[in-house]
Amino acid sequence: MAYSWFKAFHIIGFVVWFAGLFYLVRLFIYHVEANQEPEPAKTILKNQYQIMEKRLYDIITTPGMCVTVAMAIGILSTNTDLLQEPWLHFKLGFVGILIGYHYYCGRLMKQLAADECKWSGQSLRALNEAPTLLLVVIVMLAIFKNNLPTDLTAWLIFGLVVFMAVSIQLYAKIRRRNKEKLTAALNQVPQAQN
């Protein structure tokens, strides 16, 4: 029974953790792009994003990570044979990368608060895809264990995930280009009136 409780809360923890990571970097993108706004909107937006980032990181994302890790330890304590499984070693390696990503996001949050972040909105969009890829790999390892599928279906699913990531990037690029065109057109209107 303990194993089932640990597993249930492990799943709840990683859902919360990933939800926080997905939204956190999205807030970073908005935070960086707020620099393009005129005052006082720029200051107001940056202050609001800073509050939202800190709350999300401290109240949702980090507790989600802690619950995930604690419940994983609980699962392993009730089933120590899992520690001999090669798939688990790979999964734990990817979870280690995810934990590093989590703390790197905390570092970026501090840089944004101090106006020292060198990342652009576009590069942050690319960074925002990292947890998606890690999620896919970690879940696939957890479900298929040592029998990770390499057939056509698996490659189609992988291709779909890559297609979604590329589509999101292209959509953001098109949206940004349209915004630049609109801004340029609006700047031309006052000149034409003079």
Residues belonging to the binding site for heme are 10, 91
Closest CA to 7 of 81, 67, 61: 67
Fill in the DSSP letter of residue 151.
S
Q: CA-CA distance, 163 to 58, in Å (whole number)?
A: 32
Contact assessment for residue 95 and residue 48, using Cβ atoms and an 8 Å cutoff: no
What is the separation, in whole angstroms, between the first and last Cα of the chain? 78
Annotated binding site: 10, 91
Q: CA-CA distance, 48 to 31, in Å (whole number)?
A: 9
Count CB neighbours of 162 within 10 A: 13
- Distances in Å between the Cα of 91 and the Cα atoms of 115, 124, 126 are 36, 25, 23
Classify residue 63 as left (phi > 0), alpha (psi -120 to 50) or beta.
alpha
Closest CA to 128 of 167, 169, 157: 169
Q: In the block, which residue shows the tokens 């990181």?
A: 57
